[in-house]
Amino acid sequence: MNKEIGAKIWLIPDAYLPEIGDPNLPSHESTCILNVNDKPAKVKFTFYFEDRDPIESKEIIVLPERTWHVRLDKSEEILGVKLERNVPFAIKVESDVKIVVQHSRLDTRQPNLSYMTAIAWNVD
């Protein structure tokens, strides 16, 4: 298998943490990272906002041949960055090895919940 799959820089222009909604199934976003390499991926997030300076996360390690669905409603404990709900933002995901990034949103503010997913835009 070709281990050179993906890119080192990914962009997600549309991110937004909706209100919690159903407490048994809280609204959230996940940035899903797939590392098909045989070595760990050192991954960092940068969050961009309409009305404030960008903030960078601490580095996380995605193990070789593994995936990690990074829940952004738990960003403070996972990434060291507190994200507010109801604030639009964008994300840059950077890695030292090629990875694949997908982004998903679950919105449970109404009984007919909605789910959205999109592959991120790779830069390189």
The domains found in the chain, sorted by start residue, are 7-122 (2.60.290.11)
pLDDT digits (tens, 9 = 90+) for 69-120: 998 988 899 999 999 988 999 999 999 999 999 887 655 456 665 656 667 7
Global pTM value: 0.86
pLDDT attached to residue 3: 56
Instruction: Check pLDDT > 90 for residue 39.
Output: yes
CA 122/CA 79 separation, integer angstroms: 21
Phi-psi region of 80 (alpha: psi -120 to 50; beta: other; left: phi over 0): left
In this structure, of 16-20, 34-38, 73-77, the range with the lowest mean pLDDT score is: 16-20
Do residues 45 and 76 touch, judged by C-beta distance below 8 A? no
pLDDT attached to residue 103: 81
Q: Of residues 81 and 28, which shows the higher confidence score? A: 81
Question: H/E element holding 78?
Answer: helix 75-79
